[in-house]
Amino acid sequence: MNLRGRLALLTVAVAAAPLALGACTGDRKVVGEGRQAAPELAVTPAEGARDVPVSGEIGTAVKHGRVTDVRITDDKGGKVEAEPREDGTGWVPTEVLQPKRTYTAEVTVTGEKGQTVTRKTTFTTQPKTSKPAITSTLYFAGNRTYGTAMPVTVAFDPPIPKEARADVQRRLFVKTDPPQPGTWSWVSDGSQVYYRAPDFWRPGTSISVRAALEGLPIGKENVGDADRRATSKIGRQVALEIDNATKQMSVIRDGKVLRKLPVSLGKPSTPTSSGKMVIMEKHDFTTFDTTGSADPYVVDVEDAQRLTWGGEFIHGAPWSEGDQGYANVSHGCTNLSAANADWLMGVTQVGDLVTVKGTEVELGEGNGWTAWNVGWDQFAKGSALPVPAGLAPAPTTSADPGAVAGGGSPEPQPSASGG
């Protein structure tokens, strides 16, 4: 959250006193040569600030030095743990602050010659708010193994207005080990925001996510609902490539084709979407119920893997095995034989990339986790904040992202449909 735009700024400047000019001599030196400027420090919230949101953080703007110590305590003397922002602009408490409490922050900056400046600020948080909370959903669970195309996704209901997206994005944190920096990108209607790197995640990468939104002012009328964390790993490469022209699915692991499977895609009246999708969830058994639609049906299916919010799945369809590899007869899903669908469930992972080409319609923005359905330059334009300089795809990347089997994901909320 950018407190500078909401709170007064407490600025403490410490500067060296000007030096007297020396007499003109044959060996005179430029006055002040080699002398290091004293550190300067600006801190927020301001001393005595009131009604600070519970999402408040300690803002630090430093010149000629670096922050070497930050101590935050509550009005009972308890220590408040905080984590530094990567850009050095502040410290974010690891837990949301409590309403109507007083906190004290003491910040120390050390200059290049060892000079130190320490300043203290005391502020009080606002009472518990009655503003309605925007519901957020983090689609990245902890202790899982995801595919190499897995975006970190946060969904919002209602959507985030454009003017509030920068504040929200500043409270979304991703750390990767080994480091593989990326950026957030908003779906145009503000209902979802995705985080990914320019290239697919490297197998074995650990990803830690924090959506620190509880109590965050969002526009004038709303606040954030919760503070969520999750850490998971990336598995080995797996990708699925589905070609409508051949009615075949290529299953690729670590750059090698494991199998080619015959498929039946959506019939002309209900075509399958073409584009780059990500497996969102996996079900050994589920029921497709489209009651109330223009084409109502209820059918039980096995080995179903969701690709879109609109209800496109890969699943076992023994009733269409005679058409698989030859004709499209589904309601938009990718039909496999019962045996092939069962085998595929043991290979794929939530977060694997699925590429479909040659069908009658294109994948719509936000219909699923569509972070990879655009190139990097277009993806980066969706950020509400400046994108770190130098972020770009590597000259050569693996064409077939994916992950090992197993694990799972939080289940998207819309009810299943398909065919």
Amino acid in the structure at residue 350: V
For the chain, how big is the Rg over CA atoms in Å? 27
CA distance 179 to 68: 23
> Annotated catalytic residue: which of 64, 283, 331, 333?
333
Helix (H, G, I), strand (E, B) or coil at 374: coil
Count the neighbouring beta carbons within 10 Å of the beta carbon of residue 93: 20
> Annotated catalytic residue: which of 64, 283, 315, 331?
315
CA distance 332 to 270: 5
Question: Nearest Cα to 92, choosing from 212, 249, 265?
Answer: 212
Question: Nearest Cα to 378, choosing from 276, 268, 271, 234?
Answer: 276
Is the Cβ–Cβ distance between 46 and 122 less than 8 Å?
Answer: no
What the block records as the tokens of 329 is: 């007869």
24 is catalytic: no
**Phi, psi values for residue 338, rounded to 5°:** -60, -40
Q: CB within 8 A of 114, min separation 6: which ones?
A: none
Q: CB within 8 A of 94, min separation 6: which ones?
A: 81, 82, 83
Count the neighbouring beta carbons within 10 Å of the beta carbon of residue 143: 9
283 is catalytic: no
Is the Cβ–Cβ distance between 102 and 126 less than 8 Å?
Answer: no
Is the Cβ–Cβ distance between 169 and 192 less than 8 Å?
Answer: no
CA distance 319 to 208: 43
Beta bridge mates, 71: 106
Question: Nearest Cα to 89, choosing from 144, 122, 41?
Answer: 41
Q: CB within 8 A of 374, min separation 6: which ones?
A: none
Count the neighbouring beta carbons within 10 Å of the beta carbon of residue 153: 25
390: left (phi over 0), alpha (psi -120 to 50) or beta: left
Locate all alpha helices (DSSP H) within 270-372, ordered by sequence: 338-345
Active site amino acids:
315, 333
